[in-house]
Chains A and B, each alone.
Chain A
Amino acid sequence: MRRILVLFAHPAIRRSRLNRAMSEAVRDLEGVTLHDLYEAYPDFAVDVDAEQALVDAHDVLVLQHPLFWYSAPAIVKEWIDLVLEHGWAYGRDGHHLDGKPWLQAVTVGGRESAYAPDGLNRWSVEDLLRPFEATARLCRADWQQPFVFHAAHLAEAGEISTAAERYRARLISLRDGAPMAAAG
Chain B
Amino acid sequence: MAADGFLVSAATYLGAAVVSVPIAQRLGLGSVLGYLVAGVVVGPAVLGLVAAGEDVRHVAEFGVVMMLFLVGLEVQPSKLWQMRGGVFGLGGLQVGATAAVVAGLAILLGTDPRAAVAIGLIAAMSSTAIVLQALKEKGLLKSPAGETSFSILLFQDISVIPILAVIPLLAAGHAAGVEAGHGGGTLIDDLPGWASALAVLAAVALIIAAGRLVMRPLFRVMARTRMREVFTATALLLVAGTALLMQAVGLSPALGAFLAGVVLADSEFRHEIETDIEPFKGLLLGLFFISVGAGIQMGVIVDSPLAIAGIVAGVVVVKAAILFLLARSARLQSRDALLTAIALSQIGEFAFVLIAFAGQNGVLDAGTGGLLTASVALSMLTTPLLLIAFDRLVPGRAGGEDRAADDISERNRVIIAGFGRMGQIVGRILIGRGVPVTVLEHDAEQLEALRRFGFTLYYGDARRHDLLHAAGAEDASLLVVATDEKETTTEIVEMARRNFPGLKVVARAFDRPHAYELEAAGADRIVRETFAGGIEMGAEALKELGLPAFEAERIGRIFRRHDIEAMEAMRELRKLDRNAYGLAFRQRREMLSRVLTRDIQTMRSGADAGWDSEPIREEVRERVRAEERKETDSTSSR
Contacts and interface: CB of A to CB of B under 8 A. Distances in A.
Contacts of B621: 153-154
Contacts of B620: 109-110, 153-154
A12 B612 contact: yes
Interface stretch (A37-45, A52-60, A82-90, A165-173): A37-45
Interface string B369-390: 0000000000000000000000
Interface stretch (A13-21, A97-105, A128-136, A174-182): A13-21
Contacts of B549: 38-40, 42
B550 A109 contact: no
Interface in B568-610: 602-603, 608, 610
Nearest to B617: A153
Given A15-B611, A16-B612, A154 B624 contact: yes
B139 interface: no
5 contacts: A11-B550, A12-B608, A15-B611, A42-B552, A153-B616
Interface residues of A, number: 20
Contact of B612 (A15, A43, A111, A154): A15
Given A110-B620, A153-B617, A38 B550 contact: yes
Contacts of A110: 620
Interface string A68-86: 1000010000000000000
Contacts of A40: 549
A68 B550 CA distance: 17
Contact of A11 (B552, B602, B611): B611
Nearest to A12: B611
A154 B552 CA distance: 29
Contact of A111 (B603, B608, B624): B624
A42 B612 contact: no
B550 A42 contact: yes
A38 B553 CA distance: 10
Interface of B: 548-554, 602-603, 608, 610-613, 616-617, 620-621, 624
A55 B551 CA distance: 26
A83 to B, nearest CB: 18
A126 to B, nearest CB: 21
B533 to A, nearest CB: 16
A141 B483 CA distance: 54
Nearest to A18: B612
Closest 9 CB pairs of A and B: A42-B553, A38-B550, A42-B549, A42-B550, A153-B620, A12-B611, A153-B617, A39-B549, A15-B612
Contacts of B548: 12-14, 38-39, 42
Contact of B613 (A10, A14, A15): A15
Interface of A: 10-16, 38-40, 42-43, 66, 68, 73, 109-111, 153-154
Majority SS at the chain A contact face: loop
B6 to A, nearest CB: 69
A14 B604 CA distance: 12
A14 B602 contact: yes
Given A15-B603, A66-B612, A111-B624, 10 more contacts: A10-B612, A12-B603, A13-B548, A15-B612, A38-B549, A38-B550, A42-B551, A109-B617, A153-B617, A154-B617
Majority SS at the chain B contact face: helix
A15 B603 CA distance: 9
B478 to A, nearest CB: 24
B550 A15 contact: no
Contacts of A38: 548-550
A147 to B, nearest CB: 18
Contact of A109 (B603, B608, B616): B616
A66 B603 CA distance: 18
A114 to B, nearest CB: 9
A39 B624 contact: no
B247 to A, nearest CB: 63
Contacts of B552: 42
Nearest to A113: B627
Nearest to A107: B612
A12 B624 CA distance: 25
A4 to B, nearest CB: 23
A119 B165 CA distance: 105
Most buried by B among A68, A111, A153: A153
Nearest to A66: B612
Contacts of B612: 10, 12, 15-16, 66, 109
B553 A43 contact: yes
Most buried by A among B552, B554, B610, B612: B612
B155 to A, nearest CB: 54
Contacts of B617: 109, 153-154
A22 B252 CA distance: 86
Nearest to B620: A153
A109 B623 CA distance: 12
A105 to B, nearest CB: 16
Most buried by B among A15, A111, A154: A15
A12 B553 contact: no
A91 to B, nearest CB: 27
Nearest to B551: A12
Nearest to A75: B550
Contacts of B553: 42-43
Nearest to B539: A42
A16 B610 CA distance: 12
Nearest to A9: B550
B416 to A, nearest CB: 24
A75 to B, nearest CB: 8
B628 to A, nearest CB: 11
